[in-house]
Amino acid sequence: MKSLPCGNLVHGLAVKHGMGGSVYVDNALLDMYATCCATMDDACVVFRDMREKNDVSWTTLITGYTHRGYGYGGLRIFRQIGEESVVGSEAENVNYENLEVSVGREESEGEKEAWRLFQDAIVTYCGSPVGTLAANDPGDKQPLNYDQVFIRDFVPSALAFLLKGEGEIVRNFLLHTLQLQSWEKTVDCYSPGQGLMPASFKVRSVPLDENKTEEVLDPDFGESAIGRVAPVDSGLWWIILLRAYGKITGDYALQERVDVQTGIKLILNLCLSDGFDMFPSLLVTDGSCMIDRRMGIHGHPLEIQALFYSALRSSREMLAADDGAKNWVRAINNRLSALSFHIREYYWLDMKKVNEIYRYKTEEYSTDATNKFNIYPEQIPHWLMDWIPEKGGYMIGNLQPAHMDFRFFTLGNLWSIISSLGTPKQNKSVLKLIESKWDDLMGHMPLKICYPALEYEEWRIITGSDPKNTPWSYHNGGSWPTLLWQFTLACIKMGRTDLATKAVDLAEKRLKLDRWPEYYDTRNGKFIGKQSRLYQTWTIAGFLTSKMLLENPETASRLFWDEDYDLLEICVCALSNSGRKKCSRGAARSQILV
């Protein structure tokens, strides 16, 4: 490192004396930058400008990456060799052993294929990687919108990149989607709120003069997506990913940038603004999240609440301590405590609670009613009475006046564990329930998106007779392997890696063989989904991320949140003001909330 200035001088002299084109001189310079510099940036510049490259050049570059622990960077270069059609013999000579070292162990055939496919799904914009395609099936002649980069789908991709030491694509993604946030958007003659993040984007080539073209990013805010639904989860995922990027790379400068701070605040403004709502949970239309078609989840679906909670906790960590920060933090804290109280108290369901609801009195007009939302016991579905186990419980899917959606929604429950929206006891109980209902929720392929499916008349009325969401298919009780990474994270957090390992093993047996499907059908996930895409990127990324999280639980701990006792105190104090509870941190710990 110390002799680097001297090396720079040699580089200058080489160029001055016209020796730049010599492969031997260039290789020596490449080696110097690859071994002596803190980053690979200078080595990459030399490599890019080399007139002639040989096997030594490629090996030097790969070694530079792998010695820094960026095995994936090395792998990418190795794959590039084929693309640049280097003379066969030279490519074969590249020293591949270094890669094995950096990966730490021999990868399974499934993992090797997954990394290769994952690499092929990368989308570039003006020469830089910015995201991954939703699906990349070469045999699919009608990709619909699966050839776009979806914000929610990119999250497991981003984690896979980050866990492999590749921050660049994630950083580019975060900054480019930020640009799209302030896009001028109209649906007919109405302009949706500022701060909205698109569901997805596409890189388009726009023709210029003289046969030239220019690349532009073309976002979809739901105006061309099916059903014209605003993707509420996109902004929440963006904030969550921004935090994860900082936590894993240590590059906190990105979240401190003025434009990034403004982006966070625009999203918060949309979510925290006053409306007509009486609940602290976020009120949304049907299909505004991963389940993006009509499935009867409008109102206050658990998935959105859990992501909202995580995004608020992430923002609180990232907002710069400037003049306005106090007001933001106060607003965030108030919402966080009210939201966690609401969900913990009213969404939680176990055998005891079912029995309570079963015996509910109705039409109680009073502030201290037990049946606060006037739920009629006749609403308890038959399947639930048999299904609810003696041990374990879960958060219901939705709560509205006179309506409880008793379905089990996996993403919302897993994300409640990860973000500590549930109490430690509740979080443990959810995993206990998954364990005791393994055949229903895991079956042949992890994990059911929701349980059970809507059938018969209910399916007709609630989905609008949607032929894609038929019983036990797609969003309506289908099995989605991408949910594996969130399950793994939740299991690591709760000390149940045994469950995650079992699920990952189950998936690994079939995913490669089945060509990485988007989802599986039938009650126990036995068949590849009827309209399922193949080579679905978030299936691949979810699998790779799960594998890496299990290998590296220390890093996993940077992605979840522990219980926040200060929040509980705010909540218990608010209740004590209304005469309901004693106000103190001790009281917070000992009362119903923990």
Q: Is 255 or 463 the residue whose CB approaches ligand GLC more closely?
A: 463
Q: Is 290 or 304 the residue whose CB approaches ligand GLC more closely?
A: 290
How crowded is residue 364: how many other Cβ atoms within 10 Å of its Cβ?
13
* Token code pair at residue 119: 């690499």
CA angle 546, 148, 560 (to 5 degrees): 30
CA-closest candidate to residue 117, choices 160, 174, 171, 166: 160
Q: Are 238 and 179 in contact (CB under 8 A)?
A: no
Q: Is 134 or 162 the residue whose CB approaches ligand GLC more closely?
A: 134
Q: State the minimum distance, in angstroms, from the CB of residue 200 to ligand GLC.
A: 7
Beta bridge partners of 398: 405
Q: Is 150 or 328 the residue whose CB approaches ligand GLC more closely?
A: 150
Q: Is 145 or 182 the residue whose CB approaches ligand GLC more closely?
A: 145
Q: State the minimum distance, in angstroms, from the CB of residue 540 to ligand GLC.
A: 12
Q: State the minimum distance, in angstroms, from the CB of residue 171 to ligand GLC.
A: 22
Contacts with 221 (C-beta within 8 Å, 6 or more apart), sequence order: 183, 185, 187, 192, 196, 198, 199, 230, 231
Q: Is 423 or 539 the residue whose CB approaches ligand GLC more closely?
A: 539
Q: State the minimum distance, in angstroms, from the CB of residue 144 to ligand GLC.
A: 9
Q: State the minimum distance, in angstroms, from the CB of residue 18 to ligand GLC.
A: 53
Helix (H) or strand (E) holding 399: strand 398-400
Q: State the minimum distance, in angstroms, from the CB of residue 412 to ligand GLC.
A: 14
Give the single-character DSSP code of 202.
E
Q: Is 134 or 264 the residue whose CB approaches ligand GLC more closely?
A: 134
Give dist(CA 271, CA 267) in Å, integer: 6
Give dist(CA 68, CA 64) in Å, integer: 7
Q: Is 73 or 525 the residue whose CB approaches ligand GLC more closely?
A: 525
Residue whose C-beta lies closest to ligand GLC = 134
Instruction: Find the DSSP H helices in 286-441.
Output: 302-318, 325-346, 351-358, 382-387, 410-419, 424-436, 438-441
Q: Is 73 or 478 the residue whose CB approaches ligand GLC more closely?
A: 478
Beta bridge partners of 201: 149, 219
Q: Are 524 and 444 in contact (CB under 8 A)?
A: yes
Q: State the minimum distance, in angstroms, from the CB of residue 239 to ligand GLC.
A: 18
Q: Is 63 or 469 the residue whose CB approaches ligand GLC more closely?
A: 469
Q: State the minimum distance, in angstroms, from the CB of residue 353 to ligand GLC.
A: 30
Angular region, 210: left φ>0, alpha ψ -120 to 50, beta rest: left
Angular region, 420: left φ>0, alpha ψ -120 to 50, beta rest: left
Q: Is 179 or 531 the residue whose CB approaches ligand GLC more closely?
A: 531
Give dist(CA 246, CA 259) in Å, integer: 16
Q: Is 146 or 308 the residue whose CB approaches ligand GLC more closely?
A: 146
Q: State the minimum distance, in angstroms, from the CB of residue 512 to ligand GLC.
A: 19
Binding site for ligand GLC (CB under 6 A): 134, 146, 150, 152-153, 290, 292
Q: State the minimum distance, in angstroms, from the CB of residue 284 to ligand GLC.
A: 15
Contacts with 296 (C-beta within 8 Å, 6 or more apart), sequence order: 286, 405, 454, 462, 463
Q: Is 290 or 556 the residue whose CB approaches ligand GLC more closely?
A: 290
Q: State the minimum distance, in angstroms, from the CB of residue 153 to ligand GLC.
A: 5
Give dist(CA 489, CA 494) in Å, integer: 9
Give the single-character DSSP code of 229.
-
* Token code pair at residue 2: 């110390």
Q: Are 229 and 287 in contact (CB under 8 A)?
A: yes
Site of tokens 């094995």 = 100
Give long-range contacts, CB 8 A cutoff, 24+ apart: 492-496. Answer: 492/549, 492/550, 492/553, 492/556, 492/557, 492/560, 493/417, 493/418, 493/427, 493/556, 493/557, 493/560, 494/417, 494/427, 494/428, 494/431, 496/431, 496/435
Q: State the minimum distance, in angstroms, from the CB of residue 233 to ligand GLC.
A: 9
Q: State the minimum distance, in angstroms, from the CB of residue 63 to ligand GLC.
A: 37
Amino acid occupying residue 244: A
Give dist(CA 511, CA 522) in Å, integer: 17
Q: Is 290 or 421 the residue whose CB approaches ligand GLC more closely?
A: 290
Q: State the minimum distance, in angstroms, from the CB of residue 355 to ligand GLC.
A: 35
